[in-house]
Each structure stands twice: as C-alpha cells, then as structure tokens.
Amino acid sequence: MESKKLASFFEEDLCIFGLRSKKKISVLQEMVRHLASVGRISDERFIMEMLKNRESLGSTGLGMGVAFPHGRSLAIKDLTVLFARSANGVEFESQDGEPTNIFFLILAPSDRGADTYLALLSELIGIIQKPKKLESLLAVKDHASLIKILGGEES
C-alpha cells in the first residue's frame, strides 16, 4: 500500500488527539461515541459489543504504547479508521503490560474489502515498528502532523 493511500484513510474528523478516558472500556466508548457524533456509525451499542467481544479473545494492545481495536460486520458500510492519542496512556491490557497511548480503531464491512483491511493493518504495524515513526506518533497533536508521519519518507 502506498503511503499516500494509507494517509487517505485518516480523515480530520476521525482523529482524537486528547483522549480523556483512562480505562479500556471507557476509551472504546469514547472512540465509538466520536464515530457516532460524526455520522460514521449509527448503532453505538452494537459496535461496542462487537469491540468488547473482540477484546475478550485477547487484547488488541500490541505493546509499545499502541493498540489496534478492530472489527468487521455487515452493520459497517465502509472501511473506517479512527486515530486516537492519550498523552498519559491507558491501561489496555497490552501484551507488554505497559500503558497504551496510540489507538487505531479499524471497522470494516465483513462482506467486502478484506484485502484493503488487511493491507491497512499490515502497513500500520510496519510503521509502528520504525522507532522514529512511533516516537512521532506518540507526540502527534494535529491532523496535518499525523498525515505527514503516515505519508512521509521512511525513517
């Protein structure tokens, strides 16, 4: 996936640069509420249940301060990615036991677009494995900076 294509998934109204929640479920609720407030989802309760069910299988907190909560459902019309950042970190039951600061919430239709969904996830995981990119993400405070990090040159 080209970096410009990756950056195109991150719309300005789908970013939260100052998460207020401090706990796992409340972070998920804050992100889902945001998606509903900008008209990206219509059934908050359904999406929350889907995300909670996914988390019950194992935390999507991969470590290094990053989590990828995600789900696929027929109730989701279009691939939607929300970026969220918590300055202080959240206890998210991550694999390394450390607080999580960066969240990439990915929701996708279950009946189509699997290739794009997997390519997006793969590209994001590749980015967080680059120390300079991860450090930049942990400090990002606005949409323009996020797009530069995601679409900029290799670090």
Q: Are strands 80-90 and 66-67 parallel, antiparallel or unpaired?
A: unpaired
Residues 46, 14 contacting (CB under 8 angstroms): no
Show the tokens assigned to 7: 């950056």
Whether 70 is catalytic:
yes
CB proximity list for 120: less than 8 A, separation 6 or greater: 1, 6, 9, 79, 81, 106
Task: Exactly one of 24, 34, 70, 72 is catalytic; name it.
Answer: 70
DSSP character string of 99-142:
-EEEEEEEEEESSS-HHHHHHHHHHHHHHHTSHHHHHHHHH--S
Secondary structure percentages of the chain, helix, strand, coil, to 5: 45, 20, 35
Q: Which residues belong to the active site?
A: 70
